Structure 1
Amino acid sequence: MPAAFQGRAAADYRTYRKVSRKVSPLYEGVVQDLIDELGRLPGVGPKSAQRIAFHILQAEPADVKRLAQALLEVKAKVRFCAVCGNVAQEELCNICRDARRDPAVICVVEEPKDVVAIERTREFRGRYHVLGGAISPIEGVGPDDLRIRELLARLADGAVTELILATDPNLEGEATATYLARMIKPMGLKVTRLASGLPVGGDLEYADEVTLGRAFEGRRLLDV
């Protein structure tokens, strides 16, 4: 797990434990352990954790074994791309290995799931750079916790002509985009931001393909 996620996950877990003690009845041993572990997952509250736990308890043993095997395999076989930070099963992800992608245009996103959202639009044929989060002083995430040094290293040889900042259209995403634009401006690189139309305060992954595609087509120069 990248360093940017550790503080956030720990804070979410502490909050879950406080809430779960108030809302959830105490189950015996391993059942409560399972509920607690499920409650550490993002977006899973105490009631959802209980529901999933009891679904697993009632499931066929073969189904549970298949789920457990999938969890073990994804940790054993999946890594982060050595170049862009996207998920991969080899040293490089399939996008970085694809010679048909334009290496002169890099789209900067927060998370690997944002890569999937953009790929669904079929509007972008460049390559990506995954930061591993966004600048958020409240959550203790600063520039040094993100893959910004790796991004600067990719820009150092001058082969990149455009950098598209596709961080989320919320406070943290805008702060991250502004920080990057100011840092990169002295390089004389074309820096663009997705056009307005994306839901303010939302996550890129939830934007529909049409809206996201139009945001790409109408991207604007970022002047800072």
Structure 2
Amino acid sequence: MQYPEAISRLIESFTKLPGIGPKTAVRLAFHVLDMEEDDVLMFGKALVSAKRDISYCSICGNITDKDPCYVCSDKHRNRTIVCVVQDSRDVIAMEKMRDYQGLYHVLHGAISPMEGIGPEDINVSSLLTRLQADEAITEIILATNPNIEGEATAMYLSRLLKPTGIRVTRIAHGLPVGGDLEYADEVTLSRAMEGRREL
């Protein structure tokens, strides 16, 4: 049996979202049919509003509804440290921690030769421009993901930034709090040993 055209379009739209396969898309489409019309209208307006009203900060590249973003415009932040992250979701994760009071720079991706993504495809050039324009920055914290792409990006940025004289650091990787050694893989254990500190 074929779905009515409106349902088929809705299913197809849902499959464009990451992690949504055909079965989940069908389930979501039928859920939308069961929703109250006002809720569906609010959902649609929220989608359009997010797409229309959210942009990228001209300074750090984070998502924002005003430019500059709330972090860059906060005069109480430590303006000497910039934490470089892959994605705006990483900024949100760091902010939830409430310990970091510096600034951010969002790359919008990571170097991945397998996927054809090079340094020119991520937000690196604006980082260099920012560092040249702002002499107050004394440290760059590379907080890219601890995977092959994140490591490649961190290594690239480290080499690129060394000549500037700005201190370049990498976040530590290791065991999660509450984790057991016996369940950790070799790479995680190795990173935990490398990142050890004196007590």
Q: TM-score range by the shorter chain?
A: 0.7 to 0.9
The structure that is helix-richer by fraction is 1
SS at structure 2 position matched to 1:66: helix
Amino acid at match of 2:126: E
1:188: Cα distance to partner?
A: 1.4
Does the 8 Å CA contact 1:84/1:129 hold for their aligned counterparts? Answer: yes
Report whether the alignment pairs 1:31 with 2:7.
Answer: yes
Match of 2:77 among 90, 101, 111: 101
SS at structure 2 position matched to 1:103: coil
Note closer, same or farther for the CA distance 1:169–1:185 as it changes in structure 2 (3 Å cut): same
With the length of structure 2 as denominator, give the TM-score of the two structures.
0.85
Q: Which runs of 4+ in 1 moved over 3 A?
A: none
Partner of 2:35: 59
TM alignment of 1:179-190, pairs within 5 A: 179-190=156-167
Match of 1:177 among 132, 141, 154: 154
How far apart are the structure 2 equivalents of 1:93 and 1:219?
35
Note closer, same or farther for the CA distance 1:136–1:34 as it changes in structure 2 (3 Å cut): same
Note closer, same or farther for the CA distance 1:55–1:34 as it changes in structure 2 (3 Å cut): same
Report whether the alignment pairs 1:86 with 2:42.
Answer: no
SS at structure 1 position matched to 2:79: strand
Match of 1:165 among 130, 142, 147: 142
Does the 8 Å CA contact 1:193/1:219 hold for their aligned counterparts? Answer: no
Partner of 1:76: 52
Match of 2:117 among 141, 154, 173: 141
1:27: Cα distance to partner?
A: 2.1
| Deviation readout 1:169-223 (Å, 9 max, x if unpaired) | 1110000000000000111111111112267xxxxxxxxxxxxxxx9xx799xxx
1:76: Cα distance to partner?
A: 1.8
How far apart are the structure 1 equivalents of 2:86 and 2:19?
18
Partner of 1:47: 23
Partner of 1:191: 168
Amino acid at match of 2:140: L
Aligned residues: 179
How far apart are the structure 2 equivalents of 1:162 and 1:51?
48
SS at structure 1 position matched to 2:20: coil
Q: Highest CA radius of gyration, 1 or 2? A: 2
Partner of 1:7: none
TM alignment of 1:115-154, pairs within 5 A: 115-154=91-130
How far apart are the structure 1 equivalents of 2:15 and 2:196?
38
Partner of 2:185: none
Note closer, same or farther for the CA distance 1:173–1:26 as it changes in structure 2 (3 Å cut): farther
Note closer, same or farther for the CA distance 1:152–1:198 as it changes in structure 2 (3 Å cut): farther
1:158: Cα distance to partner?
A: 2.8
How far apart are the structure 2 equivalents of 1:198 and 1:65?
45
Could you tell me which runs of 5 or more consecutive residues in structure 2 were left unpaired when the two chains were aligned.
Answer: 177-191
How far apart are the structure 2 equivalents of 1:151 and 1:219?
30
RCO higher in structure (CA 8 A, sep ≥6):
1
